[in-house]
Chains A and B, each alone.
Chain A
Amino acid sequence: MRQDTRVNFQFGGSQTAAARRRKQDRSTGGVSLTAVGHSYGELRTLDAIDLEAAPHSVIGLVGPSGCGKSTLLEVICGLREPSAGVVSVEGAETAPERLERCAFMPQRDLLLPWYPAIDNAALALRNQGMKRAQARAAAAVLFERFGLAGFETARPGELSGGMRQRVAFLRTLIAGKPVLALDEPFASLDAITRGEMQEWLATALRTDPRTVVLVTHDVEEALYLCDRVAVMSSRPARVVAELSAPHPRAEDRDGAVTDPEFVAAREEALRALREGSR
């Protein structure tokens, strides 16, 4: 029974046609961008971006503020169409199909204050047509697993910033989509909570791997959480450097981020960032 629930949320409700489709083209997998450009009228935001994220890998996008990272994320998710180039998510290239395959986590948690935490987390399942009791049961399993047990009925207003971010992430995870698009998920948190949340997210992704595109302005966060990190220039954004992270999502975060190899990678990323924002 419990096993069933888990399978259900991974495919976003086994009964939907969309879920079956997603399952089929998982073979093509991952996210790939070819010469993707975007502009708001005259303003060019993205300039010929090439990126590749293998299935179940985490790719980080770092860049100066206002460089178009969030726009790029929205393009990947199918919330926007690019002005040029091809975006492929699990083999799907049109915006509605990409939207079906990506779960977007915005910068602010944007939990709906009129729903208790568990209903916020289960929002996608409800939207996909699942009954409330069933959706809550599926979400409760994850609350248990990710240290939120006991907070099911709390209203978002009663939760701390870190807790709200966890619920917001579970909401993204429960949608059951193969690709997660996270837009600076921890930017609003204090340094200590942010470190804890990074470890928490690393654990979550170890137990439930997905293809993740993570936008952040924090180089250290990117190098700790991601397999590969793309450094972007200021507007119009290009990829100026691509680095491999030495110890992605290591269990010992403090050890990992102080490791000489990690420090070297961080210096290299910062150098690329400085050159790109000139």
Chain B
Amino acid sequence: MRRWLLPLGLIALLLGLWQIAVSTGAIANALSLEDFLVPSPVEIAESLWENRSLLAENAWVTLREMLLGILAALVVGVGMAVLMHRWQVVRDAAYPLIVASQTIPIVVISPILVVWFGYGITAKVVIVALICFFPITVNALDGLRSVDPETVKLMRSLDASRRQRFWRAEAPAALPSLFTGIKIAVVVAPIGAVFAEWSGSSSGLGHLIQSDTAYYQVARQFATVAVLSAIALTLIGLTALAERRVVTWR
């Protein structure tokens, strides 16, 4: 109860303060802005309702980019982690490269990828996957390596083959870490999706925010941000739920 009430109370308080600050004109005066550029929470809520079908349409586009991107990152990331865990030579060769790949800002690489893959969904999925791949790979590898060396000896003595050792000891031990990676990936996926849409697209929440800038549709921009944030929160919640269902021994 307290866990929910306290943050909700704080949100209500902040929204209330915002509403008062806008309706008295305090923010607009302080920033020397026209009133219509500073929407109040009530105006944003109205915009959210009026634009519900437009927002839903674009939300679906962005959600699909995020989910496919996370899925691709999961497949490639877990695959890489398993290969790097199994063969030291793969780890020695690939690990520095994987870390180095993260030094390239996504803002820089996404226009290039749009040139390569076009305005369609492919470029977005690739960009989201690129940004999600790192936390998943690194955490999955850490998880696989977290197995106690004594457990490995024990499994060998109990007639476990390499494959049985993996499925019965290493893979389950890696799950909590893998979920940590997925949670980080889910948090950064919207950033990837929005940058990807800014680099070139004709739909999606990122695209909507960008085109609304040209028309000073500030209320709708805030509404779009709210939707994007709600999507991310839902995905984080679902991941946590899945973790509780899968990792039952903690």
Take A112-B169, A112-B172, A127-B159 as given contacts and tell me if A104 and B249 are in contact as well, using a CB distance cutoff of 8 Å: no
A46 contacts the other chain (Cβ, under 8 Å)? no
Q: Which residue of B lies closest to A16 (CB)?
A: B159
Binds B, one of A55-63, A95-103, A214-222, A270-278: A95-103
Q: Are B249 and A171 in contact (CB under 8 A)?
A: no
Q: Are B249 and A155 in contact (CB under 8 A)?
A: yes
B86 contacts the other chain (Cβ, under 8 Å)? no
Q: Are A123 and B172 in contact (CB under 8 A)?
A: no
B151 CB contacts on chain A under 8 angstroms? 110, 112
| Distance between B46 CB and nearest chain A CB, rounded to angstroms | 50
Binds A, one of B101-109, B160-168, B183-191, B220-228: B160-168
Report the contact-size class of chain B (Cβ under 8 Å from the partner).
Answer: 10 to 19
A31 CB contacts on chain B under 8 angstroms? none
| Distance between A155 CB and nearest chain B CB, rounded to angstroms | 6
Of the candidates A74, A100, A106, A108, the one whose C-beta lies within 8 Å of that of B159 is: A100
Report the contact-size class of chain A (Cβ under 8 Å from the partner).
Answer: 20 to 34
**A51-B168 Cα distance, complex, nearest whole Å:** 35
A40 contacts the other chain (Cβ, under 8 Å)? no
The 8 A CB mask of A161-185 against B (1 = contact, 0 = none) is 0000000000100010000010000
A114 CB contacts on chain B under 8 angstroms? 172, 248-249
A113 contacts the other chain (Cβ, under 8 Å)? yes
Q: Are A128 and B159 in contact (CB under 8 A)?
A: yes
12 pairs, CB–CB < 8 Å, chain A vs chain B: A74-B153, A79-B153, A79-B156, A100-B159, A104-B154, A106-B150, A106-B154, A114-B249, A127-B159, A155-B249, A171-B158, A181-B157
Query: Which residues of B come within 8 Å of A, CB atoms?
Result: 148, 150-151, 153-161, 164, 168-169, 172, 248-250
Query: Which residues of A come within 8 Å of B, CB atoms?
Result: 12, 18, 74, 77, 79, 99-100, 102-104, 106-108, 110, 112-114, 123-124, 126-128, 155-157, 171, 175, 181
